[in-house]
Amino acid sequence: MTTKERSQKKDKMLQGAASKKGPKLKTAGSKRDPVEIIDQTNEGRDQQLVPIRHSRMMATPFTFYRGAAALMANDLAAEAHSGITVQSCGDCHILNFGAFATPERNIIIDINDFDETHPGPFEWDVKRMAASLVIAANSVGMPARLGEKAAFELTRSYQREMAKHAKERLLDVWYSRLEFQTLVANASKREDRERVKKVLSKELIKSHPDVLHQKLIEKKAGTWRFKEMPPLLYHMPDIEMKNVRKAFDLYLQSLPADRQRLLQHFEIADIARKVVGTGSVGTYCGVLLLVSDSDDLLVLQVKEARKSVLEPYLAASEFENHGKRVVIGQRIMQSASDMFLGWTTGKNERHFYLRQLRDVKMSPNPAMWTKSSLLDLAMFAGKVLAKAHAKSAEAKAITEYLGTGDKFANSMSSYALSYAEQTNSDYRLFVEACRSKRLPTEASIVG
């Protein structure tokens, strides 16, 4: 693409993003139906769990937004874009960003959810993250204008950090990571620093194997197994362990040789279904219990991987297995990934990826935000996203495209505000559809 072509695409994109009339939406003769798009994403899910998904999305406009990545992908695809492709998160909202432990047991800050990862225009992640700040802030009673300022700080931070990466060697970008202590040190107020430290301390306790195992696992008749806690954790009577072991053997082949050797000391003791998240509800999510001869316990999370919500609007995935798509995308974008991250194929050719369950995973809590902590978080999230995108070796192209002024940050903050308004409108239609029983919810099943 020539410099002139990039300039024209940039002007067109920024004009659309900065429009106060709301984002341009994809239409097919009439305004797109958000309820229909959400309902289409229920295809292939466990229909008994879909009502739980809808009920969780009904809670607030932000929970709706979290479960509606497919709707925003539809909208983004209708807009002009930069043409600069990076490995994209695909569902880059503020709760998919946080702290977790590396294999070396260091705590870093990074993006931590990659179910929708796919190569795409860099600004799609920026737009989704920016809009999430406005919507999340509004969900806890903060004014929309404060969310808009947070979106501005996010984008300006992204732009400045990307400019730094553009001057670095690509290897140095890949070596870099953002430590949790850096987030704490950068907090503008002492009370915010202390609050974040306390949250991490609690998460370290909750994620300790002894605490986690006590909550989820019990020993009956000399055998370790998951507790029954329906409807969120339960055993499935139709599971055939021979199929589980076959899928596990395929999973082992996706791991480095040293991790394979480690897991050879463990045996599969149990498997259960565990309902998690918002957008994932209805897909197969489970937990796998591994036990060694010395009674060491390891719990792996098993998540079904389906086609990315971005794929219908971009090139098809290069990976036949969507679990592999998730794993490779995560390894590209993250500074460090879970040591047990791998993929497999299950019964009926379903695709899955596996990782350790709850390894000190800590996400932002909007209920605890103050004005200063929100703006601090937004700036740090911009740095994290820039680093993740820079690993795709497009830092120079993105920096050249964005320039040095505030035009991009202003346009993204305006876009975030207008898309928040669009989300509120879509949310009202969604709630009406649930209450009218066009879409099933937990209450509609009972009633």
Please report, for the chain, the start and end positions of each structural domain, with discontinuous segments joined by +. 3-206+366-446, 209-356
Helix (H) or strand (E) holding 344: strand 342-345
Structure tokens that stand for 267 in this block: 């045996």
Give residue 321's Cα distance to chain centre. 19
Does residue 186 have a pLDDT over 80? no
Neighbours of 104 (CB within 10 A): 8
Residues 6+ apart with CB under 8 A from 209: 297
Residue with tokens 């070796």: 393
Question: Highest mean pLDDT range out of 34-43, 204-213, 225-234?
Answer: 34-43
Residue 278 banded pLDDT, cuts 50, 70, 90: confident
Measured CA distances, 407 to 13, 18, 155, 162, 163 (Å): 11, 9, 10, 15, 15
Decide if pLDDT at 12 tops 70.
no
Tens digits of residue pLDDT in 15-53: 555 544 444 444 333 479 999 999 999 999 999 999 999
Each residue's pLDDT tens digit, 320-340? 999 999 999 999 999 999 999
Share of the chain above pLDDT 90, in %: 72
Q: Which of 59-73, 141-155, 356-370 shows the lowest per-residue confidence on average (mean pLDDT)?
A: 356-370
Query: What pLDDT score does 10 carry?
Result: 61
Band of residue 102 on the pLDDT scale cut at 50, 70, 90: confident
For residue 381, pLDDT over 90 is answered with yes
pLDDT at residue 4 in the model? 55
Taking Cα atoms as reference points, which of 66, 79, 33 lies closest to residue 415?
79
Q: Are 314 and 88 in contact (CB under 8 A)?
A: no
Q: How far is the C-alpha of 164 from the C-alpha of 173, rounded, in Å?
A: 10
Using an 8 Å Cβ cutoff, are 73 and 34 in contact? no
CA nearest 271: which of 307, 302, 232, 292? 302
Residue 135 has pLDDT above 90, yes or no: yes
Among 148-152, 336-340, 443-447, top mean pLDDT goes to 148-152
Q: Which of 199-203, 264-268, 405-409 has the lowest mean pLDDT?
A: 199-203
Residues 244, 246, 250: CA angle, nearest 5 degrees: 115
Name the more confident of 18 and 386: 386
Q: What is the CA radius of gyration of the chain?
A: 22
CA distance 269 to 216: 14
- pLDDT, position 305: 97
User: 95-109, 203-217, 379-393: which has the highest mean pLDDT?
Assistant: 379-393
Q: Among candidates 100, 36, 108, 115, which has minimal Cα distance to 284?
A: 115
Top-confidence residue, 194 or 40? 40
CA dihedral defined by 24, 26, 28, 30, rounded to 10 degrees?
A: -40
229 phi, psi to nearest 5 deg: -140, 60
Percent with pLDDT over 70 in the chain: 90
The pLDDT-based confidence of 153 (bands split at 50, 70, 90) is very high
Cβ atoms within 10 A of the Cβ of 291, count? 19
Residue 30: what pLDDT? 44
